[in-house]
Structure 1
């Protein structure tokens, strides 16, 4: 009797193996399709930075391919950056302190990456404000969990006294590390469990951009002129598509 049941047990085992493999395959396909759909729905580029950093001028170069006279933005500017790999929606966020948080919140759910524009000439004088705005962006859980890439644009490199990317990176890391300590202390004095802040870098270690979950790059740029100073930004965005 045992001999007669053995083929049936083998057949059942083979069927179960095939069924499990099929289920795993289907689940993998569904996850992949959901990921692709979610990724394709996130085609926004948050173009951020303080007032007078050259952000809106950069928007003009990326979207229109030419220089236009600009003034301090009081509302967002929207436009498409068309590449051979696809289309990205550039969202120029006003740099004005009372407005920028509102517009970041409005568009962060559709963003794939962040371009953070820094005035390379005034970075040392404005380092606190520059770092704090960047800290607020990076510590937003929605951005920290969903945005895959960050580009720090060191603008106005055509000016002789402009700081290099290496100097700007060092200044930002030092100031962001100090801000992280300050913000953590503030959270500990209130209800930390109720906070809606993502931790920058690795706890217990000095902050570095390499410790962020998102890919981070620095580039020197000059949004003035014929657009030659924004070529590296265009390449970066094209590779992102």
Structure 2
């Protein structure tokens, strides 16, 4: 029989399904084995439990008041910052030989009347007291590395030598405790008011500093320290340099996905930050090949700021003066933790 042109012959043939029904998947022999089902279920429960356990451990380290560590070389102005932040005074100070610690209500820098508890720890910069860091690093919410911006030009190498032990301790702590957020470090170009010409008015405490001076101070500190850290990386970063006197890491610094997720570490890794530890591995802070980059420091978020306190005074008139922007950047940094 001929088919008229333009007509399409229809058929009742159904397309054969190539998708395996889910019922056949559920009928897989493994899923019919009670032992396999029990083992798989137990593994899922274990993973959920460990995830919740690690989450609780992450938050417990940061419970309580925000803990701020002031670190850096001697005569950089840490004690003056401590006095101004806590007591709103700026007296003449001397080189500290022991930590200053206090917990106080820290006022919001946005003049909204809010406060939050802050534990401020001023650690001495004397080389013989460098091990004081390990007593407080585990509870640190943030670290402020205070630098005399005017003196940095003549002692940049010595200042840079103090940075790897601090960054390495924080990096190892961040990696081994598996905190979701990196530990924040602010490199503070302090005494920026000494760079301003003419000298800022003493009618405000802290003084009001030009934005150009603040930017110049931050750029100076970052460029000088980057150059010095690059030299240190070239001399010891590629060979897995060690730092004595704080803690110890042996073996690889990285582990499997599960070890990094749950903080167990690899079988060949031993990490410690407690008493009796002797050395820690610097590899976590140097990154890969090439020039030093602050973004390569694992588990640590680094930023740069500037500050200035003006002329010190031993009377109480400073508390009555209007406040300039000399401490705005460090106050914002602490408040946003």
How far did residue 93 of structure 1 move? 0.9
1:34-65 Cα offsets, whole Å, 9 max, x none, are 22112226843221111111111011122222
Residue 262 of structure 2 corresponds to which residue in structure 1? none
**1:223 matches 2:246:** no
Gaps of at least 5 residues in structure 1 are 1-5
1:114-148 Cα offsets, whole Å, 9 max, x none, are 110111111110101110011221133xx213351
> How far apart, CA to CA, are the structure 2 residues paired with 1:188 and 1:117?
25
Match of 1:29 among 52, 65, 77: 52
Residue 76 of structure 2 corresponds to which residue in structure 1? 53
Which deviates more from structure 2 when the two are superposed, residues 80-89 or residues 50-59?
A: 80-89
Gaps of at least 5 residues in structure 2 are 1-26, 107-113, 175-182, 197-212, 243-248, 252-278, 311-317
Match of 1:156 among 191, 199, 202: 191
Residue 291 of structure 2 corresponds to which residue in structure 1? 206
1:1-241 aligned at under 5 Å gives the runs: 25-40=48-63, 43-83=66-106, 84=114, 86-99=116-129, 101-140=130-169, 143-146=170-173, 148-160=183-195, 164-184=217-237, 196-199=280-283, 200-213=285-298, 214-224=300-310, 226=323, 228-240=325-337
Q: Give 3-state SS (helix, strand or coil) of 2:141's partner.
A: strand
Bigger proportion of residues as helix: 1
Tell which structure's C-alpha radius of gyration is larger.
2
How far did residue 186 of structure 1 move? 7.5
Aligned length: 226
Which deviates more from structure 2 when the two are superposed, residues 154-163 or residues 175-184?
A: 154-163
TM-score, L = length of structure 1: 0.79
How far did residue 156 of structure 1 move? 0.9
Residue 3 of structure 1 corresponds to which residue in structure 2? none
> How far apart, CA to CA, are the structure 2 residues paired with 1:39 and 1:180?
31
- Asked if the contact 2:241/2:281 (under 8 Å) is kept, the reply is no
Change (3 A) 1:65 1:113: same
